[in-house]
Amino acid sequence: MPELPEVETTRRGLAPHARQRRIISLSVYEPRLRWPVPRSLARRVAGQRIRRVGRRAKYLLLHLDTGTLLVHLGMSGNLRAVPRGAPRAKHDQFDLVLDSGLALRFNDPRRFGSLLYTAGEPDEHPLLRGLAPEPFARAFSAEYLWRVTRRRRVAIKQLLMNSHLVVGVGNIYASEALFRARIRPTRATRTLTRAECARLVRSVRTVLRLAIRAGGTTLRDYLGADGLPGYFRQRLYVYERAGKPCRRCGTTLRALTQGARSTYYCPSCQK
């Protein structure tokens, strides 16, 4: 599933092709995405200019003259710039044709992705309104993490993946950030010290930054905006490495299940 770094990689890949381009047309080949694509959308966006390509959590935001398109990649989607009229492949769901001769093409085999439009402030859209801070935002601070962890009973890994605390920290990045912060994923949140909270905030940012720089993590069905897979997978410390030696201390890494998700950790490095 594309996680925040993949979505940010897509944003950075597409922005130079999309920014300040006018939309000639929107062709929807399959309106039955996670939410149906409104029939009126093609008429609404035709002729509008894409002012900016932004992101909030895992939504790509195409800011237009009079509204915003919200694109979610779902479980298996990707959005790429292709030459206008390039032969269509299976699972191509829509084309946003631009005045540059390129089209932004959305491919999504499992159709959990979405294409929505809002005429209002995107932050006020029902899907974005209640979202927690972005991991790189100042609001996600050591003090904030410390305060939130005082009143929760779950294990720190589960809290970290809870999108009401911070958005965009999926399973891979939660596991990797906890390793870097030397905190065991099963630790009760209330036992975290202020210093550990500070380390964890830093680690979350470091892991996401490295993943974005590497173009996202290679997942079986993920492709970046240019169609190339990411290379972050080769740099993972613990994720899917159970039974292998810790890259830091050589101890055999372990796996366990937490909230139906696999968790990986080093029993020596993480306390």
Which residues bind to Zn ion, rule: CB under 5 A?
246, 248-249, 251, 266, 268-269
Residue 170's φ and ψ, nearest 5 degrees, are: -80, -175
| Residue 249 C-beta: closest distance to Zn ion, Å | 3
Could you say which of 2, 122, 135, 185 is catalytic?
2
Catalytic residue among 11, 55, 58, 105: 58
**Residue 113 · residue 34 · CB < 8 Å:** yes
Sheet holding 59-64, edge to edge: 50-56, 59-64, 68-72, 114-118
Choosing from 51, 84, 233, 261, which is the catalytic residue? Answer: 261
The least CB distance from residue 34 to Zn ion, in Å, is: 40
Is 3 noted as a catalytic residue in this protein? Answer: yes
Q: Is 63 helix (H, G, I), strand (E, B) or coil?
A: strand
The beta-strand segments (E) located in 139-218 are none
Residue 121: active-site member: no
Q: How many Å apart are CA 4 and CA 216, to the nearest integer? A: 8
We find the least distance from the C-beta atom of residue 201 to Zn ion, in angstroms, to be: 21
Q: What is the CB neighbour count within 10 angstroms for residue 130?
A: 8
Residue 15's nearest CA partner among 51, 64, 40, 47 is 51
**Least distance (Å) from Zn ion to the CB of residue 49?**
52
Asked about 126 being catalytic, the answer comes back as: no
- Of 56 and 241, which CB lies nearer to Zn ion in the complex structure? 241
Strand-strand pairing, 254-258 and 50-56: unpaired
Task: Tell the smallest beta-carbon distance from residue 270 to Zn ion (Å).
Answer: 7
Phi, psi of 13 (to 5 degrees): -70, -35
Per the document, the length of the chain is: 271
Give catalytic residue positions: 2-3, 58, 261
